[in-house]
Structure 1
Amino acid sequence: MHINIRHLVEGAREAKGTVIIIDVLRAFSTACYAINKGIETIIPVGDIDLAYQLKEANPDYLLTGERHERKPEGFDFGNSPTHINDAAITAKTMVQTTSSGTQGIANAINADEIITGSFVNAGAIINYIRKTNPKEVSLVCMGFACSYPTAEDTLCAEYIKNELEGQPNDFATMVQKIKETDGARFFDPATEDWSPESDFHLCMDLNRFDFILKVEKVGDLNYLRKLKI
């Protein structure tokens, strides 16, 4: 098994084999919490106009995501796992568009298969890769708004790679490093409305979920489906 770590949109476009699109803070952590709350299908889209169109055509869909970290006008939820986790969710389908994670899915054009990546289901991702034993694994770190690499995504990729290669991990040290760098914004009271501190802790809850989210393409749309491991 050959394991690569790649970054940003360019990395997504170059990625081959089993591709894990990583967005820890917060898209693919939020997606797991949404599935756990009863959402059965997530439609990840890069284009916000398409997200609006899907909601207009399907009013019962949950419309979630962010631009510049904040909830766009007309969305049901932003990109906060806290807000999803604390809400009463009755919808079964969720449309999700974000500045990083969903852009990676849209650009992973050379992948044999795509799954999402975060710490909250890292163990399930690792078990799935061990079970399927692909020749090539690409861990794509989407960073902040696809503009620059971030500690949380890079360290999540390193965590998964280390586990697959039998190398040790120090998760507590990883969390502290993330908290002191790219995760520091979650501890700023000025961002509490859209990026509460609790989001950080929910996204760092290692192996909380025992399932992966795998991309299934149907027509022109991608769907994230839960696959329990």
Structure 2
Amino acid sequence: MQIKILQLTEGAKVAKGTTVIIDVLRAFTTACYAINQGIETIIPVGDINMAYQLKKQHPNYLLVGERHERKPEGFDFGNSPTHINAAKISAKTMIHTTSSGTQGISNATQASEILTGSFVNAGAIVQYIQKTRPSEVSLVCMGFACQYPTNEDTFCAEYIKNELEGKPNDFRAMVKRIKETDGARFFDPANQSWSPESDFHLCMDVNRFDFVLKVDKIGNLNYLRQLKI
């Protein structure tokens, strides 16, 4: 099994084989909590205008996401696992658009299959790959708004790669480093309304969920659905 760690949109474009699009803070952590709250299908879209259009066509769908980390006008929720986790959700379908993670899905056109990646279901991702035994695995780190690599996404890719290769992981050290760098913004009092500190802790709750989220493409739309491991 050949395992590559790739970065940003450029990495997504060249990813092949089983491709894991990683966005720890916060898109694909939020997606897992949404599934846990009763959402059955997530429609990840890169274009915010398409997200608005889908919401207009399906008012009963939940509209979730961010631009510049904040909830866009008219959205039901921002990209916060805290807010999703605390909500009573009756919708079964969620439209999700973000600055990083959903962009990766849109650009991974050469992948044979696409999973989403975060720490909260990293163990399930490892188990899925071990069961399916693909010859090629691409771990794509989407970074901050697809602009530059971040520790949390790169560490998540390294964590998955190490588990697949039987190498040890020092997860506590990873969390400490993330908190000191890219995760520091979650501890800024000025950001608490849209990026609460609790988001950081929920995103670092490694192996909380026992499922993967796999992309199915139907027509011109991608659909994320849960596969229990």
Short-chain TM bin? over 0.9
Q: Superposition pairs for residues 1-229 of structure 1, below 5 Å?
A: 1-229=1-229
TM-score by length of 2: 1.00
Residue 112 of structure 2 aligns to a residue whose secondary structure is: strand
Q: Deviations over 1:113-142 (max 9, x none)?
A: 000000000000000000000000000000
Return the alpha-carbon distance in structure 2 between the equivalents of residues 29 and 168 of structure 1: 23
Distance 2:167 2:40 in 1: 35
1:93 & 1:160 partners in 2: Cα distance?
A: 28
Equivalents in 1 of 2:133, 2:207: separation in Å? 20
Residues of 2 paired with 1:205 and 1:125: CA distance? 15
For residues 66 and 31 of structure 1, the distance between their equivalents in structure 2, rounded to whole angstroms, comes to 13
Residue identity (%): 78
CA shift, 1:53, in A, is: 0.2
CA distance, structure 1, for counterparts of residue 178 and residue 89 of structure 2: 30
For residues 122 and 168 of structure 1, the distance between their equivalents in structure 2, rounded to whole angstroms, comes to 14
Q: How many residues align?
A: 229
Gaps of 5+ in 2: none
Q: CA deviation at 1:23?
A: 0.1
How far 1:218 sits from its partner (Å)?
0.6
Distance 1:90 1:66 in 2: 21
CA drift of 1:176 comes to 0.2
Q: What's the Cα RMSD here? A: 0.2
CA-to-partner distance for each residue in 1:173-220, whole Å, 9 max, x for gaps? 000000000000000000000000000000000000000000000111
Letter of the structure 2 residue corresponding to residue 130 of structure 1: Q
Q: CA deviation at 1:30?
A: 0.1
Measure, in 2, the Cα distance between the counterparts of 1:36 and 1:49. Answer: 27
Letter of the 2:204 partner, please give it: M
Distance 1:117 1:72 in 2: 24
Q: Could you say what secondary structure the match of 2:138 adopts? A: strand
Q: How many angstroms apart in 1 are the aligned matches of 2:151 and 2:8?
A: 13
User: 2: distance between equivalents of 1:206 and 1:10?
Assistant: 27
1:117 alignment partner AA:
G
CA–CA distance in structure 1, aligned partners of residues 94 and 189 of structure 2: 29
Equivalent-residue separation in structure 2 for 1:218 and 1:32 (angstroms):
21
Give the distance between the partners of 1:149 and 1:143, measured in 2 at CA.
Answer: 4
CA distance in 2, matches of 1:224, 1:51: 15
